Structure 1
Amino acid sequence: MSVPTPLGDYSHLLPPSWKSVITSWLAEDTPSFDYGGFVVGEGEEEAIMWGKSEGVLAGVPFVDEIFAQLGCSITWHLKEGSAVSPTKETPKIKVATVKGPARCLLLGERVALNTLARCSGIAWKSRRVLVKAREAGFKGIIAGTRKTTPGFRVVEKYGMLVGGVDAHRYDLSSMVMLKDNHIWSKGSITQAVQSAKSVAGFALRVHVECQSLAEAREAIAAGADIIMLDNFAPTELNAAAAQLRQDWVQSGGEESEKKAGAKRCLIEVSGGLTEENMAESLCPDVDILSTSAIHQGVSTVDFSLKIQPKAK
């Protein structure tokens, strides 16, 4: 599988708080005495990080900061977003070289490898799903979901971006997503959308989860920016998306937008979509396909860190 080059340095996206999160990871992993560190001491050592299973390298800034906080330096031999591709002839790939006091290398070892393994696994799954969708002719957006691990969201969302997919909303403040519980509590889709728009203003999109074509039409009429066709069977999904697109065309389509300032509501599809079954849902009338399959239950990429023996 060809691996496209990432569009930029995603580390520039990281929030000001992210380095303090890493401090907490290190504190959690060694909350009291460092007994193993006593054994190895503070002598300067060099360690090689090896990639031992197929994947996409992701999580470089997190690993950089883990070792920086421990007084170690790291040199990467692969760029973030590159393929990690061991073969039978080359069963492990040299990913990075880390230098520093032996005790500090080992303090960072497991925290760094766990973070890199998880982030790279998400990037690899995201890339596979994206490539498969493009090969099937889908030109819309492939996105993750907010079903991320508390405390580890920044890493998981970062992995999606490196993998080439859309990270979707980051948190509850990022977009107004009205789901079934919001609608049931408020009384109707129309009331829920109107209530959301009264406080969200122009800066936030309003996104409505819909269980039927009738609900989707009500959400669009109420002013939703995005409607999600949730848990539709593939045949129902294709028919509903096509009908909603036809509604827009019959109302004047692009010419109506130019004249009246109207806009077409984006159509998102979600619910039980996986790498194996998503092809049935990749119809041309869908703008966004979102799935938690790119970050939940994903296999990690296998990395190891080995201190190099000194020449005798």
Structure 2
Amino acid sequence: MLKNYLVDKLIELALLEDIGHGDITTESIFKGNKTSRFYFLAKEEMVLCGTEIVKKVFSSMNSDIETNFYFKDGDKIQQDTYLGEVTGNVSSILTGERAALNFLQRLSGIATNTRRYTTCLKDSDIKILDTRKTTPGHRVLEKYAVKVGGGANHRFGLFDGVLIKDNHIDAAGSISDAVKKAKESIPSTIKIEVEIRNLTELQEAVKAGADIVMLDNFKRDEIIEACKIVNKRAKIELSGGITLEEIGRLKKYDIDYISVGALTHSSGNIDISLKIGEAND
């Protein structure tokens, strides 16, 4: 993931927007090559994510900086735990601090939130999926964080999966026509998914040969009936404002996936600080 060229572009942009023509505070105080060690501290319980990109941020600032984390991405961390250290030129570390923390806090927030959802389904085969409701430009990182948290990725973009939504259906005239045209145009290795608004559309989609049906904002009694209609002929995905409080109750249904936009669009940042000095101070 972190070899993706988009990641390097994001780091470059993050540093450019923060530093601009120079860190006037740090540059006015530190004139020499003073070095020191700084420590990352988790100020709340979290799932760690973003260690490699933090290393890349600091190495972009100064190739002599050494960044070492005591844990790996995906590890659950308790509050008031030291996560790692960064050692090197003080000016370079201070200048890159905010960009590094922004990535670490954001990605750890997504991973932590995703872990809450997946924990609710730990004794079932249902997979938690993300969506394309991501921060513009940051999708590669945010979808990585979902995987670190135990979730799975839905299609990355418009290019790697077919999802026939309501506007496609209405513009095409019918689900049958939309599915037929998609099957004629794409390789058979690509699954065709159809967003479903009601049970009548569900019957049409299954008959047309959809591989996956997305039940959008279905009520509980409708989900039960939908499972009977599908009868294992397609995979079933639930979607539409599904909250953490209710997700555990969905385990009883014969479904395969639950997609949750909140994994990326509503996850808060984790409180992590970077402080100079000894970890046992």
TM-score (norm 2): 0.92
Corresponding residue number in structure 2 for 1:60: 51
Tell me whether 235-244 or 125-134 shows the greater mean CA deviation: 235-244
CA contact 2:239–2:259 (8 Å) conserved in 1: yes
Shift of 1:182: 0.7
120, 128, 135: which one aligns with 1:132: 120
Corresponding residue number in structure 1 for 2:81: 93
193, 199, 203: which one aligns with 2:179: 193
Q: Within 2, Cα distance between the matches of 1:40 and 1:47? A: 16
CA contact 1:238–1:283 (8 Å) conserved in 2: no
Q: Within 1, Cα distance between the matches of 2:267 and 2:170? A: 33
- Pairing 1:44–2:32 present: no
Residue type at the aligned position of 2:219: A
Corresponding residue number in structure 2 for 1:5: none
249, 252, 259: which one aligns with 1:283: 252
Corresponding residue number in structure 1 for 2:61: 70
- Pairing 1:219–2:205 present: yes
Corresponding residue number in structure 2 for 1:240: 226
Shift of 1:203: 3.0
Shift of 1:106: 1.2
**Aligned with 1:95: secondary structure?**
strand
CA contact 1:237–1:281 (8 Å) conserved in 2: no
Shift of 1:276: 0.5
Q: Within 1, Cα distance between the matches of 2:149 and 2:22? A: 38
Gaps spanning 5+ residues in structure 1: where? 1-10, 87-91, 249-263
Q: Within 2, Cα distance between the matches of 1:203 and 1:28? A: 42
CA contact 2:203–2:229 (8 Å) conserved in 1: no
Corresponding residue number in structure 2 for 1:121: 109
- Aligned-residue sequence identity (percent) comes to 36
Displaced runs of 4 or more, over 6 A: none
Aligned length: 274
Q: Within 2, Cα distance between the matches of 1:40 and 1:203? A: 58
Q: Within 1, Cα distance between the matches of 2:206 and 2:30? A: 64
Corresponding residue number in structure 1 for 2:273: 304
Offset from partner CA, 1:150-208 (integer Å, 9 cap, x none)? 01112211110000110211111120111001111111111111222222222321110
Corresponding residue number in structure 2 for 1:150: 136
Corresponding residue number in structure 2 for 1:15: 4
**Aligned with 1:268: secondary structure?**
strand
Q: Within 1, Cα distance between the matches of 2:66 and 2:137? A: 26
Q: Within 2, Cα distance between the matches of 1:177 and 1:32? A: 44
CA contact 1:234–1:280 (8 Å) conserved in 2: no
Instruction: Map 1:97-116 to 2 at 5 A.
Output: 97-116=85-104
Q: Within 1, Cα distance between the matches of 2:35 and 2:188? A: 56
Shift of 1:35: 0.2
126, 137, 141: which one aligns with 2:127: 141
Q: Within 2, Cα distance between the matches of 1:296 and 1:23? A: 23
Corresponding residue number in structure 2 for 1:255: none
- Pairing 1:266–2:235 present: yes
Offset from partner CA, 1:243-300 (integer Å, 9 cap, x none)? 321xx5xxxxxxxxxxxxxxx3111111110111123333341011111122222222
Offset from partner CA, 1:127-162 (integer Å, 9 cap, x none)? 11111122xx43221111111110111221111000
Q: Within 2, Cα distance between the matches of 1:201 and 1:233? A: 34
Residue type at the aligned position of 2:235: L
Q: Within 2, Cα distance between the matches of 1:172 and 1:23? A: 26
CA contact 1:59–1:158 (8 Å) conserved in 2: no
- Pairing 1:31–2:20 present: yes
Q: Within 1, Cα distance between the matches of 2:263 and 2:17? A: 27
